[in-house]
Amino acid sequence: MDLRSISNEASNTVNPNLQITIARSTGFTTGSGAKQIPTYAAPVSLYGQLQALDGSELKHVQRLNIQGTLRTLCITGPLAGVIRPNQQGGDTVTIAAQPGVPASSVGTWLTTKVSETWPNWTRVVIVLQGPS
C-alpha cells in the first residue's frame, strides 16, 4: 500500500504539489586557495509537497542551530542531506515562480536534514539559500 500517494491525494486539495528541480550532490572540487566548490548531477524536474515544519522539527533544527527560512518537502524518490563519509553536501531544490507559489518560496533551497525516508518517498527539511 502506497500511503504517500493516498495522503498526497488528500493534502494536494488544500496545498497543491509544486514543480521543482532537484540537483543531487556529487561531492566537490577544489578551487583556488583550497576552497571546496560543490558539484551536482544534472538537474531533474518533478513534483513535491512544500509544507511548514511541525513543532518537534522546529525544536530539533533549533538545537542543530540551523537558521533561515525553513520548510519541509515531500517527494516521491530520494533526497539527501550531508553525507560526510562520501564527502557529499546536501542536494539542492529549486522552486521557480509559478501560479499558487508565494514569492517567499521561490529560490534555491539546500537539503539540511532528512526527516523520513521510505522505499518510495522522502521528507526533508530544506533551508532557503537565495533567489534562483
Instruction: Convert the pLDDT of each residue in 114-132 to its tens digit.
Output: 888 888 889 999 999 987 5
The count of domains in the chain is: 1
Would you place residue 4 in the very low, low, confident or very high pLDDT band (cuts 50, 70, 90)? low
- Which position has the higher pLDDT, 110 or 15? 110
- Structural domain containing residue 126: 3-130
CATH of the domain at 45: 2.40.10.270
Task: Summarize pLDDT for 50-108 with one digit per residue, the tens.
Answer: 988 877 777 766 767 677 888 999 998 888 888 777 777 889 999 999 888 888 889 99
Q: What pLDDT, on the 0 to 100 scale, is given for residue 59?
A: 72
- Identify the residue whose cell numbers are 537558521: 67
**Prediction pTM value:** 0.83
Q: Does 113 score more than 90 pLDDT?
A: no
- Identify the residue whose cell numbers are 560543490: 38
